[in-house]
Amino acid sequence: MYNLTKEELLCSLREQLYFLDSSLSNFSHHDTIEGLKNKVIGYPVAVKVNTEIEAKRLATIIRVIVHDTSNGRSLLTSLSIKDNIKYIDTKAPDDGRLHSMTGMRGVHGANLNQYFGLVAKVNNGNLLTAVPLFMQHLPEWYQGYLRKDFKQWWDDEVINIKGNRLTRSSLTLNIANKDGGAHIDGSLPEEYNIIKNSDLNLNIKGVETPFEKNVVYASIAQVAWELLNSIDNIS
């Protein structure tokens, strides 16, 4: 069996970081795609999907970079740098607020039994769009982000709806292993399914405003952004 050299592994890491960056850019467009550009033979295929489904690809890339199993090592472990990195934690505190708007640390109104630590909001007419925090945070905030050891970062709870909880780890692996990243199961774990399909509303002065877009997808995009910005000095 041939063992990859350090330079070959570094080349693979650069490729995976490019994939993260590219998918994050596509995710952020929030475009609706109705056709396939390269389907030119036979009948056209109508797809009508939103680019936020890049979240499924993002989860798979995150898994490749950091997730170790008894059967395989992550790319960072193969490079012996996984435990040397301090991972950026942008998670907002679980304080009964939805932390979100540019220039504000948070706005009141999130239901007390709902916590989305990695999600921001953008006003969109009569709706609120759920977006990853990096799309709202100001550059001057960057230096204030916490940095954590891998296990603390990976196992940190980022979503809680009525006691249904997801960490960065379980969020990533449910999407990658069960929900279309690298594999599609015929069934989804109950906890993940409840969180993915729960409606999120913000109550401002008695007015309930619903969210559009998927808060699970917005959350995994923020995990990808954290990881991309945590890895430095690869040479």
pLDDT score, position 105: 45
> Hey, is 44 helix, strand or coil?
coil
Which DSSP string do the residues of 93-125 spell out, in sequence order?
P-SSEE--STT-S-EE-B-TTEEETTEEEEEET
Taken in order 111, 181, 77, 191, is the CA torsion positive or negative? positive
Taken in order 197, 92, 121, 172, is the CA torsion positive or negative? negative
pLDDT score, position 47: 86
In this prediction, the residues of the chain whose per-residue pLDDT falls under 70 are: 96-112, 203-206
The backbone region for 148, taken as left when phi is positive above 0, alpha when psi lies in -120 to 50, beta otherwise, is beta
* CA-wise closest residue to 51 among 18, 29, 20, 19: 29
Q: What is the pLDDT of residues 135-178, one digit of tens each?
A: 888 888 888 899 999 999 999 999 988 889 999 999 999 999 99
**SS3 annotation, 193-214:** HHHHHCCCEEEECCEEEEEECC
> Hey, is 189 helix, strand or coil?
coil
Measured between its terminal Cα atoms, the distance across the chain in Å is 25
pLDDT score, position 111: 60
Q: Virtual CA dihedral for 180, 218, 60, 45, nearest 10 degrees? A: 40
